[in-house]
Structure 1
Amino acid sequence: MTILIFLITAVIVIAAAIQLNKYGDVINQKSSLSGALIGTLLIGGATSLPELTTSLTAVYIDNPDIAVGNMLGSNVFNIMILMVFDFIYRKKKVFNTVDNRTHLPVANTGFFMSAILAVFIFWDSSPSFFQIGIEMYLLLIIYIVVMKRLDSEDEEVEQTSNLTLKQGTIGFIIAALVVFGAGSVLTIAGDAIAQQTGMNSSFVGSFLIAASTSLPELVTVLAAFRLAKYSIAIGSILGSNLFNIQLLVITDIFYQKGPILNIASMSNITTALLGIGMTAIIIYTLQRPSVKRLVIYALPSTVTIILYFVASYMMF
C-alpha cells in the first residue's frame, strides 16, 4: 500500500511541477521583473520545488539522509537524463553543435560545488555558524557571484502565452501548493518504504525520491530535444543542478540540530562522488574537439549511464 501511495504521489508531483513550469514561464513573460536572472530563478525554482518540499519534509520527520540524498540524487539523475537523450540523439552530435562559452562556467561551478559537498560529507565535524554548516555559506557566495557574472546582459523574453500575469500567478500558486502537499507525502512514503523494506535511507533519497522529483526536468529536456533546442536542454540541466545545491542550503537552515552534512550518513558520499564524476564527463564532452565516428562520440554518454546504474546497485 505504501508503495502504491508513493507511485500515485510521484505522478501528482510530476503533473503539478509541469504546471509550475508552465505558469512560471507566463510570469517570466508578463512580469516587469523578467530579465535573464529573474527568469532563470523563477523557472529553476518552479521545476526544483518538488526537491525543496521533499527535503524540508525529510527535515521535519528527522531523516537527514533522505534530505541530503534527495538533492544529491536529483543532480545525478538530471545529468543521467541529459546523457540518455544525448545517446538517443547521438547522430545529431548534440555537444558538437552548442556554444560552450555559456555552459562551461556553469558546469565548472557545479563540479566545484559538488566537490565541496563531498569534502564536507566526509569531514563530519566541520565548523558551523548559527547551526548552519560553514560550507553552506561558501556555496551561497559562489552561486551569487556566478549568477551575477552570467547575468551581465538582460535578454528580451519572447511573448508566447495568451494568459495574463494574474492568471499565471494564480496558477503558479495553486500548482506550488499541490507540489508542497504531494512532495511532503512523497517523502513520508519514502521514509516508510525505507523502514518497511530495510533499504538504506540514502538509497531511497538518492534514487527513488530523487528520480520522482526530477521527472519534470526529463519532460523539459525531452521537449527541448524534440525542438532541436539542444543548448536549452543542456543549460536547463546544468542550471537546475546549481539551483538544487542552493536548496540544500535552505534545508540546512531549517535543520537546527547542527550542520546537516555532519549528521547525514557517510553513504551519501557515493552519490556526491558520482555527481562529481558525471559532471566531469559533461565538462570533457563540452570541451573536446568535434568527432566524426558515432561510437567515439557516444562514449561519454555511455559511460555516464553505466556509472549511474552501477552506483545505484552499490547503494541498494
Structure 2
Amino acid sequence: MSAVFLTDLGSPWPLLPSVIGLVVSAVVIVLTGTRITAVADEIADRTGAGEALAGAVLLGATTSLPGLVTVAVGGLSGDAQFTFANPVGGILIQTVWLAIADLFYRRVNLEHAAASSENLMQALVLVALLAVPLVGFATPELSLFGIHPATYAIPLLYAGGLVLVRRLHDDPMWKPVVTDDTVEDVPQEGTGVSDRRLGVSFVLLAVTMAIAGYVVGRSGLGVVSATGASGGLVGSTLTTAVSSLPELVTLIAAVRMRSLALGVGDIIGGNVFDALQIAVADAFYREGPIYADAGASGLLLLAAGLLMSALLAAGLLLRGRHGVGFEGIGIPVVWVGAVVGVSLL
C-alpha cells in the first residue's frame, strides 16, 4: 500500500484541482477548528489541566495536524524548500494571528489579559527549538541514518519543554500580576455529555483535520508544479495560511468565549509543535539531511521565526495595557519582511 501511496505522490495534481483542494480544505478546517475549541475547553475544565496547558498540548498539537501531514507529504515529494518552509512558515503566520486576534479583543492588549506563566515558558521553549536547526544549516554534511544529528535533539527538547510547562502549572514560582483586565482561567459549566463521547468527538475532529492536511500538501505541490513558483514561497505563504487556519479559528473562538489563556496557549503551543515538525520534515525527506537543500529561504524563515518568538515572549512579559502592543506591530512587520525576502531569493 505504501508503494502505491508513494507512486501517487509522484504525480502532481493539475492547477485547478489543486486550487479546489485548497479552498475545500480551508472550509473544512475552519468548521472543524470552531468545534474543536469548545471541546478542548471542556476537556481542560474536566481534567483540571488548565487552559494554557490544554491550549499548548490538546489544541496546539491537534490544530497542527494539517500542517504535520502537509510536511510529511512534502518530504516524500522530495521538495526540500517546500517541506522546510511549511513548519517554519506556519510558526510565522500563526504568530501573526495573535496580532489579528488583538483586533477582536478591544478591551486591552491580548497578551496582558491572557497573562500566563505557562504561555511565557512555551514561548521560551519555542526559541530554544528554533535555535537547533541552525546547527543543521551550519553543518549540513552531517548525517545519521539520513537525518542530521541535531534533528534528534528537537523531540527531546519538545518533551522536556512540556515537562517544564507542566511543572510550572503544578508548582508556579512566578505569577503574573492580576489586574482588572486580566481574564483568569475559571472552569465553565460543561455540556453534560459523557467523557467518552467528548473524547470520541475530539478524535474525529482531529482525524478530519489530518485528512484536510493531506489535501493541502498535495494541492500545494500541485501549485508549485503548475506555476513554477518557489517551493519555499508557496510553502511559507499559501499552504501554511490554509493549514494554519485552525489556529486562527480557535484563537478567535477562544477570545469570544473569553478563554484567553486557551487561545494564546493554542498559538504558542501550535508553534512549538510546528518546531517539532522540523524533525518530521528531516525524517520524511529521504535525499539526506534537509538542511543541505532547504536553501537560503529556509534560513531566512528560521531567523524571522526566532525574532517573532522573542517579540511575543517580550510582549507576554511586559504586558502592555493599551490596545495592540509593540509586539502586535512588530510581528506583522517581520512577517512581511520575511515573505518579501523569500520572494526575492
Q: What range describes the TM-score normalised by the shorter chain of this pair? A: 0.7 to 0.9
Secondary structure of 1:130's counterpart equals: coil
In structure 2, runs of 5+ residues without a counterpart are: 1-15, 172-184
Secondary structure of 1:129's counterpart equals: coil
Deviation at 1:35, TM superposition (A): 4.2
Q: Does 2:216 align with 1:190?
A: no
Q: Does 2:157 align with 1:142?
A: yes
Q: Return the alpha-carbon distance in structure 1 between the equivalents of residues 62 and 230 of structure 2.
A: 29
Q: Report the CA distance shift for 1:228/1:21 in structure 2 as closer, same or farther (over 3 A).
A: closer
Q: Does 2:193 align with 1:163?
A: yes
TM-score for the superposition, normalised by structure 1: 0.84
Structure 2 partner of 1:76:
92
1:253-275 CA-partner distances (Å, limit 9, x unpaired): 33333222333232111211111
Q: Return the alpha-carbon distance in structure 2 between the equivalents of residues 282 and 3 of structure 1.
A: 33
1:113-146 CA-partner distances (Å, limit 9, x unpaired): 22222442x3252523322222222222222222
Structure 2 partner of 1:243:
273
Q: Does 2:259 align with 1:232?
A: no
Structure 1 partner of 2:73:
57
Q: Return the alpha-carbon distance in structure 1 between the equivalents of residues 58 and 118 of structure 2.
A: 19
Which AA in structure 2 matches 1:299?
F
Q: Report the CA distance shift for 1:28/1:254 in structure 2 as closer, same or farther (over 3 A).
A: farther
Q: Report the CA distance shift for 1:290/1:30 in structure 2 as closer, same or farther (over 3 A).
A: closer
Structure 2 partner of 1:44:
60
1:221-252 CA-partner distances (Å, limit 9, x unpaired): 11232344433332221121112212332343
Q: Which of 143, 148, 151 pairs up with 1:128?
A: 143
Structure 2 partner of 1:175:
205
Q: How many residues align?
A: 310
Q: Residue 100 of structure 1 contacts residue 287 of structure 1 at CA under 8 Å; is this kept in 2?
A: no
Q: Report the CA distance shift for 1:29/1:226 in structure 2 as closer, same or farther (over 3 A).
A: closer
Q: Report the CA distance shift for 1:104/1:169 in structure 2 as closer, same or farther (over 3 A).
A: closer
Structure 2 partner of 1:104:
120
Q: Does 2:292 align with 1:262?
A: yes
Structure 1 partner of 2:332:
305
Q: Residue 30 of structure 1 contacts residue 164 of structure 1 at CA under 8 Å; is this kept in 2?
A: no
In structure 1, runs of 5+ residues without a counterpart are: none
Deviation at 1:196, TM superposition (A): 1.8
Deviation at 1:30, TM superposition (A): 6.6
Q: Return the alpha-carbon distance in structure 2 between the equivalents of residues 176 and 289 of structure 1.
A: 33
Q: Report the CA distance shift for 1:17/1:104 in structure 2 as closer, same or farther (over 3 A).
A: closer
Percent identity over the alignment? 23
